[in-house]
A = this chain, B = another copy of it.
Amino acid sequence: MSEIKITYFPVKALAEPIRMLLKYGNINFDDNRFQQENWPNIKPDMPFGQVPIYEEAGRIAHQSIAITRYVAKKVKLVGDSDWENLEIDSVVDTINDLRQKIAYYWYEQDAAVKESRKGPLIEETLPFYLTRLESIAEKNNGHFALKKLTWADIYFTGLLDYLNFMLGTNMIEKYPNLQAVANNVRSVPAIKSWIETRPQSDL
């Protein structure tokens, strides 16, 4: 039993950036995936009813971005100054904004309402965010900050399959610099090996 444990659904989504960072740092962890049908039993015991949670040395943490930042410090994929970390944090929160806007469409239960949200999402929101993120990635040579690999790149790449699943398309198809970000992350040997061996899931 390893000291670190991540509890989440059997998917990539919000836990995958955390898993990728731990793999990057060659840190063992218990990849605790529960089945969807068990969620109603698990949810009441989760802080604020949400996952992923992260456990280490008997302590528990929640909020995926906060956990991701914490693990990024552990594996030294953060900035060297407070301003550099602000730069990383701001792009991470922007990627999270984009994720929420996609989720706002995807998780809508009313089919007509859901459909009505699709057009503005695809035609306005996605190009708005992706052209600006593309520009940031271009200025940083295939990264989101500091012209080098940081946890912002891993946050984006870890979420990408989930975002593409919700959209039903490859959202970075027309954005070569965003592809470069993902390729730079996926070609790190420890992450490449993880992608090849991790449990398979759509999202």
Task: Select A83's contact among B59, B90, B97, B128, beta carbons within 8 Å.
Answer: B59
Produce 1/0 per residue, A50-69, CB < 8 A to B. 00000010010111011101
Total A residues in contact with B, Cβ cutoff 8 Å: 30
Task: Select A86's contact among B48, B66, B97, B128, beta carbons within 8 Å.
Answer: B66
Interchain CA distance A86-B66 in the complex, whole Å: 6
Interchain CA distance A152-B61 in the complex, whole Å: 16
Chain B min CB distance to A54 (Å): 8
Q: Is A82 an interface residue (CB 8 A)?
A: yes
B82 touches A70 (CB 8 A): yes
- What residues on B are CB-neighbors of A82 within 8 Å? 70, 73-74
Task: Select A63's contact among B47, B49, B74, B90, beta carbons within 8 Å.
Answer: B90
Q: Is A85 an interface residue (CB 8 A)?
A: yes
Chain B min CB distance to A140 (Å): 14
Q: Chain B: which residue is nearest A78 at the CB level?
A: B82
